[in-house]
A and B are shown apart, each in its own frame.
Chain A
Amino acid sequence: MATLEIRDLHVSVEAENGPREILKGVDLTVKQGETHAIMGPNGSGKSTLAYSLAGHPKYTVTGGTVLLDGEDVLEMSVDERAKAGVFLAMQYPVEVPGVSVSNFLRTAATAVRGEAPKLRLWVKEVKEAMAALQMDPAFAERNVNEGFSGGEKKRHEILQLELLKPKIAILDETDSGLDVDALRIVSEGINRVRSTGEVGTLLVTHYTRILRYIKPDHVHVFAGGRIVESGGAELADKLEEEGYESYVKGGASE
């Protein structure tokens, strides 16, 4: 069973006046089949955690370890992490002009699976996954994220999640900017992947709204660059009522 173990993770970014530490010792274990919600106020560092795990070059790991089934994730290049089974659904997916969605998906699937998927089966697989996300087939011929609406970008991210079948899915604010219908469609896609029991999900979100559709096993409150409280789904209800105020005023703002 795949397990992602994050131990005492410290991460900095280059700021104008030198490096600034954003993650200040994160400990978290995500197992295959589990869903963890990471919730926290703006600027708490929860997106930094997501991007650091995927290996974004902007973030420098200054301490701690990240292991996926005992393998050192921090030693891997960005593409190696993806091949090892780490997937990051981005809050702001990037436009890649000149590269069609269908070409992109097939190239990614070939890279992650280690061989080109059989064309006939692949076409069917993509078609079904797109239909499930209520995406127009014409979408496949558009350039990656170019001119996509907010909802289209997020569906495209979840489409990749469904096709690439990672061991660990990190979903960074996938719910932000979505209307109720789009949120439902995207959540259903995530739930289809979760229902296989083969993915550990790290759901990074500011709002509790998406948790109406996706029931987490664990909820962690993120503040001041670390996890300050962990609990079950009931912790989300508390956050819904009380907000993050107590965490921001408390131990977080050091």
Chain B
Amino acid sequence: MADVQNTSGSTTAGSIEVGTAGAGAQLAGPGTGRTTVKQPIDARVAVKPSFDVNDFPVPTGREEDWRFTPLHRLGGLHDGTAAAGPRGEDKVEFTLPDGVTAETVGRDDARLGKAGTPVDRVAAQAFSAFDQALVVTVPKDAVLTEPVKIDVRGEGGVRFAHVVIDVKPFAEAVVVLNHEGAGTRAANVELLVGDGAKLTFVSVQDWDRDAVHVAQHNALVGRDASYKSVVVTFGGDLVRLHPRVNYAGPGGEAELFGLYFADAGQHLEHRLVIDHDTPHCRSNVAYKGALQGQDAHAVWVGDVLIRAAALGTDTYELNRNLVLTDGARVDSIPNLEIETGEIVGAGHASATGRFDDEQLFYLMARGIPADEARRLVVRGFFAELLQQIGVAEVQEQLMVKIDAELEAAV
């Protein structure tokens, strides 16, 4: 009986905040959602994007973009103390298919900073403090049959990183950036997707339990290019990622998928921005998270802006959370701001559900123990999203990781 009683009682799933800016719950089709938004999306953020850390005041935690983040657990990434101290080491291993190059370059390399600009103090700190950048180039027209793999193992301490993935026109690549180990890390990752190119970028955060990781992913999607971002976050004490998309020409497509599993005490934050300022581009966002344990905290903020020029935009964003136990908290905030009604479609959905006692009872009444029942449900919850990734090898590897995570955690 003990297993069942553990999950009985309160049916509240913790605090769920669903805010919408301007638009209603669902907007679809041309002519709907003619909401006039006077401020651009980044106006909610007090400071303009900048490469210089000194352009940003030290956050206090009251700012809109910092209000969910426990600043005292950032390891000093936000207030200059981390940058002032000594540096740690990373062990990095590459798997580079034929034709793909990986270079270590200095700060003055002309290829850096093209895909986007840091939007907060930690990202600007990373840009201001990194020593050398990594530039991975997939040449024009190259269609890779094997993924590019970058395996990063943090060996403690503080590090600032800068990575550029440059996929030249009409090339097709899958790039997997895997993070393991320990340390306090801040990074900017630039994803340049050339005209007609296809990039699937997978970022796995499988850190040790005490790691801190803050990163901004800037994708610049070329004309008729397609970009797929897959973010998988399991480990770390505090992980805060900023996947962002801009379009360099019409016809671009971006799909952003995310999976996260927050255990007791973990803070996992994903803040997405898709800036539709170019006509006839598409975006689709689907993030799913599971939480368990006391003070497990997931934050998901999805900002989509359709600017007046972005005629024919088609966008949808979705966030689903599954709360497995009491004591976990989810803040899920989709924002959709629309400056033109001449679009194909725009919508968003956010829901947080609880793995409830009735589901648990049903599975247990068929002989399935409580922990296995939870694993079964979470595995199914994630598998639905994994199937959408469309890269079989990546799906299989991620499923193996998910199974290992569930085996260890649930």
Name A residues whose Cβ lies closer than 8 Å to a Cβ of B.
54-58, 76-79, 81-83, 87-88, 90, 93-100, 103-104, 107-108, 111-112, 143, 160, 164
Are A88 and B365 in touch, CB under 8 angstroms? yes
A77-B370, A98-B383 are known contacts; what are 8 more A-B pairs with Cβ within 8 Å?
A54-B365, A77-B364, A78-B364, A81-B365, A82-B368, A94-B359, A98-B384, A99-B379
Interface residues of B in 365-380 (CB under 8 A from A): 365-370, 372, 376-377, 379-380
Are A107 and B376 in touch, CB under 8 angstroms? yes
Residues from chain A with a CB closer than 8 A to the CB of B357 are 57-58
The 6 tightest CB contacts between A and B, nearest first, are: A98-B380, A111-B367, A82-B367, A108-B366, A78-B364, A112-B367
A53, chain B: closest CB distance, angstroms:
10
Residues from chain A with a CB closer than 8 A to the CB of B58 are none
Q: How far is the CA of A94 from the CA of B366 in the complex (A)?
A: 12
Residues from chain A with a CB closer than 8 A to the CB of B110 are none
Q: Is the interface of B mostly helix, strand, loop or mixed?
A: helix
Are B2 and A77 in touch, CB under 8 angstroms? yes
Are A96 and B3 in touch, CB under 8 angstroms? no
A89, chain B: closest CB distance, angstroms:
10
15 A-B contact pairs sorted by A residue (CB < 8 Å):
A55-B364, A57-B1, A57-B8, A76-B1, A77-B2, A77-B3, A77-B369, A79-B367, A83-B367, A87-B365, A97-B380, A104-B366, A104-B376, A108-B366, A164-B367
Which residue from chain A places its CB closest to the CB of B4 in the assembled complex?
A57
Interface residues of B in 345-363 (CB under 8 A from A): 357-359, 361-363
Residues from chain A with a CB closer than 8 A to the CB of B359 are 94-96
Residues from chain A with a CB closer than 8 A to the CB of B364 are 55, 77-79, 82
Q: How far is the CA of A111 from the CA of B379 in the complex (A)?
A: 17
Residues from chain B with a CB closer than 8 A to the CB of A104 are 363, 366, 376
Q: How far is the CA of A96 from the CA of B372 in the complex (A)?
A: 14
With A77-B1, A78-B4 in contact, do A160 and B366 touch (Cβ < 8 Å)? yes
Q: How far is the CA of A223 from the CA of B358 in the complex (A)?
A: 26
B65, chain A: closest CB distance, angstroms:
32
Residues from chain B with a CB closer than 8 A to the CB of A76 are 1
Are B377 and A111 in touch, CB under 8 angstroms? no
Which residue from chain A places its CB closest to the CB of B5 in the assembled complex?
A57
Residues from chain B with a CB closer than 8 A to the CB of A95 are 359
B side interface size, CB within 8 A: 29
With A79-B364, A79-B369, A112-B366 in contact, do A99 and B380 touch (Cβ < 8 Å)? yes
Q: How far is the CA of A88 from the CA of B363 in the complex (A)?
A: 11
Are A93 and B1 in touch, CB under 8 angstroms? no
With A56-B361, A78-B4, A78-B361 in contact, do A99 and B376 touch (Cβ < 8 Å)? yes
Are B380 and A78 in touch, CB under 8 angstroms? no
Does B381 make an interface contact (CB < 8 A)?
yes
Are B381 and A97 in touch, CB under 8 angstroms? yes
Residues from chain A with a CB closer than 8 A to the CB of B4 are 55, 57, 77-78
Residues from chain B with a CB closer than 8 A to the CB of A143 are 380
B341, chain A: closest CB distance, angstroms:
34
Are B370 and A79 in touch, CB under 8 angstroms? yes
Are A96 and B362 in touch, CB under 8 angstroms? yes
Are B366 and A99 in touch, CB under 8 angstroms? no
Most buried by A among B3, B8, B368, B384: B368
Most buried by B among A87, A90, A93, A108: A108
Are B365 and A82 in touch, CB under 8 angstroms? yes
Q: How far is the CA of A55 from the CA of B370 in the complex (A)?
A: 13
Interface residues of B in 1-27 (CB under 8 A from A): 1-5, 7-8
A107, chain B: closest CB distance, angstroms:
6
Which residue from chain A places its CB closest to the CB of B3 in the assembled complex?
A77
Q: How far is the CA of A90 from the CA of B382 in the complex (A)?
A: 27
Residues from chain A with a CB closer than 8 A to the CB of B380 are 96-100, 103, 143
Q: How far is the CA of A238 from the CA of B5 in the complex (A)?
A: 42
With A55-B1, A99-B376 in contact, do A94 and B370 touch (Cβ < 8 Å)? no
Are A94 and B3 in touch, CB under 8 angstroms? no
Most buried by B among A90, A97, A98: A98
Q: How far is the CA of A57 from the CA of B369 in the complex (A)?
A: 15
Q: How far is the CA of A112 from the CA of B369 in the complex (A)?
A: 10
B381 interface neighbour in A56, A98, A103, Cβ under 8 Å: A98
Which residue from chain A places its CB closest to the CB of B288 in the assembled complex?
A98
Q: How far is the CA of A90 from the CA of B361 in the complex (A)?
A: 11
Most buried by A among B1, B4, B357, B377: B1
Which residue from chain A places its CB closest to the CB of B1 in the assembled complex?
A77
Residues from chain A with a CB closer than 8 A to the CB of B369 are 77, 79, 111
Q: How far is the CA of A93 from the CA of B365 in the complex (A)?
A: 11
Are A108 and B367 in touch, CB under 8 angstroms? yes
Are B365 and A78 in touch, CB under 8 angstroms? yes
Residues from chain A with a CB closer than 8 A to the CB of B1 are 55, 57, 76-78
Residues from chain B with a CB closer than 8 A to the CB of A82 are 364-368
A148, chain B: closest CB distance, angstroms:
13
Q: How far is the CA of A117 from the CA of B381 in the complex (A)?
A: 25
Residues from chain A with a CB closer than 8 A to the CB of B7 are 57
Q: How far is the CA of A98 from the CA of B382 in the complex (A)?
A: 8
Query: Contact flags (1/0) for B180-192 with A, using CB distance below 8 Å?
Result: 0000000000000
Residues from chain A with a CB closer than 8 A to the CB of B379 are 98-99
Q: How far is the CA of A103 from the CA of B372 in the complex (A)?
A: 12
Most buried by A among B358, B364, B365, B384: B365
With A94-B359, A107-B372 in contact, do A164 and B366 touch (Cβ < 8 Å)? yes
